[in-house]
Amino acid sequence: MSLAITDRVESALLIDSSEQMVEVAKAKIIQRGIQNADVLYSDFTEGTPELKADIVLMSLVLLHIPDTQQILQELSNILPDGGKLIIVDFDKNENISHPKVHNGFDHEELKERLSEAGFTSTEIRTFYHGEQIFMKQDASMFIASSIK
């Protein structure tokens, strides 16, 4: 998703905790000739690098992070006052059960966690329903937008 919006931002930094995904992103940047994007290998669950960003965009990442509150706080630390956090992920789905992923997120619970991490003006809406898109189950996806 980040590469699709590079023409709308001054610069983009794609961060992933998987070295393989960092290499895939790097190859796409080179292949597409994108000049204002770079990549960084980092695992925010093990500490946040010294970064500052005006916008943080996470797509299908939050469900893989065990300590949701910790990562939201780390992301809050990266953003200045007025910075924006955008999260795309799955709505809570009781049909999903897996030891390595959350089964989605309840909108009100996520708003509460974002508030605890210092975010305000949170809006969350479901924007997509699909068949067998989450662990081979029908599911819906949301987009959340929060201001720090």
* CATH assignment at residue 82: 3.40.50.150
E-assigned strands of 36-92? 37-41, 55-59, 84-90
Q: Are residues 60 and 91 in the same domain?
A: yes
Based on the domain organization, do 38 and 56 belong to the same domain?
no
pLDDT, residue 42, reads 87
Q: How high is the pLDDT of residue 43?
A: 82
Is the per-residue pLDDT at 44 higher than 80? no
Same domain, residue pair 60 and 106? yes
pLDDT class for 51, splitting at 50, 70, 90? Answer: confident
Using the predicted structure, report yes or no on whether residue 50 has a pLDDT greater than 90: no
Same domain as 14, residue 64: no
Query: Long-range contacts made by residues 59-67, C-beta under 8 angstroms, separation at least 24?
Result: 59/1, 59/88, 59/89, 60/88, 60/89, 60/90, 61/89, 62/87, 62/89, 62/102, 62/105, 63/89, 63/90, 63/101, 63/102, 63/104, 63/105, 64/100, 64/101
What is the residue range of 7's domain?
Answer: 1-42
Q: pTM of the predicted model, to two decimals? A: 0.89
Same domain, 38 and 58: no
Distance of alpha carbon 32 from alpha carbon 90, whole angstroms: 29
